[in-house]
Each structure stands twice: as C-alpha cells, then as structure tokens.
Amino acid sequence: MVDITGKDLCKSYDKYLVFKGVSIELSDGDILAVIGPSGSGKTTLLKIFGLIMKPTSGELYFDDIEVTRIDETRLSDLRRSYIGYSFQEPIFIPSLNVIENILIPYYPYASRSELSRVKENALKILDRLGLSGLDRRRPSDLSTGQRKRVDLARALIKDPKVLIVDEPTANLDEESADIIRDVIREYREMNRIVIFAAHRDEKLFKIASKKLD
C-alpha cells in the first residue's frame, strides 16, 4: 500500500518550538499512537502526516516521494489519494444532511452512477458505526459522539491508505468509544496505516503497534 518515513521532523512558529527530532517509519498494518497532553503538538504532527501542513525542517516520505519538497498542487493530489482525516472538532456544512456531508469528497468530480454506488457504501459505513437511520439528519441534530462518528465515516468513505484520527474517543460514552476502537482495529487488519492522537485512552493505546510521546 504505502510506507511512511519521517526523519528528524521539527515544527516551530517564530521562536516557539512545537516539537523537534521526530523520526518514525510506518508500513502496512501499523497503528501509530501520538500521545501527550493538550498543547504538546499532537494535532500539529497529525496535520504534517496528513499533508495539511509542512514541517519547519526534516524530511517526510510517502513511499519514495519526499512530500516536504513538493508544491501545494501535488501535495493536494497526494492528500486526496492517500489520506482520510477525522478532525478533533468535526466541521460540517450545516445546510447538508449527514449523507451529503459524507459524500463531499466526491463532489464535483463523481458521476451520478458513482455517487449512487458511494452512497450505498456510505450507508454501510454508517451502519457499522452504529448510525443507521441517521443519514437524513442535519449535523446540528446529532450528539457529540454521533458527530464524531459521522466525521470518521467521511474519512473512511474513500477507503484511504492512511487513516488519521485526532482524539478519536475524547468526550465519548464508552459504547461509542468501543465502536471507534473496533473500526481502528479492523482498519489495521486491512493492512492500512492508522495514525491517531490521544491524551488518554489505555484501551486505544494497547491497539497501537508504535507510539510517539
């Protein structure tokens, strides 16, 4: 699928150092846990792995592509090809319902027949995440746990090679958290790479094959 290699990654803003010296190698089936308290740079590191931002220094490779040196257009193409990203604070288009928000990555490129196929897959993902029957709801009608799972469904919809999840179980009830842990475990079994950040969740940490803290 894909190999990810980070070499001596560093991120700073002006004189503020977020982190330095991060080196890691990931391959198919790896789950990386980025562990630390709030403000320790977990989200920043996830955004670098997610090709949303670049490090201040160091090298990051996706297979043999040094992504720290390519332009934004190619970076965007790689992001669409490789990455599924679930944010700590999900962002939805309020005027769209759940299923429409999940299908956003396919607009405006997909044909009508492809959208029909993807919609069917989205409904299956929602069912797996315990959200069956909520596809026509507005995001504002959902609980925090439901919104988090809808955002995860959107990250999964393109079957990405790399799934990145920021604080996947934070502020969730145990039933919702267990569903997300199971999905992460299943994704590993599909030989995909999963990278998540969390400040506490011992059950989730036990799933990880590698850790950065």
Give the model's pLDDT for residue 101.
96
Give the model's pLDDT for residue 3.
95
Between CA 115 and CA 123, with CA 121 as vertex, the angle to 5 degrees is 105
d(CA 186, CA 165): 14
- Model confidence, pTM: 0.94
Place of tokens 């990051």: 60
Sign of the CA dihedral running 95, 87, 64, 1: negative
Give the model's pLDDT for residue 105.
86
Do residues 1 and 161 lie in contact, with contact meaning Cβ atoms separated by under 8 Å?
A: yes
Give the model's pLDDT for residue 60.
98
Averages of pLDDT over each 10 residues, the chain, 213 residues: 94 92 96 91 96 96 94 92 93 96 86 90 95 96 93 95 95 90 93 94 94 93
Structural domains in the chain, sorted by start: 4-212 (3.40.50.300)
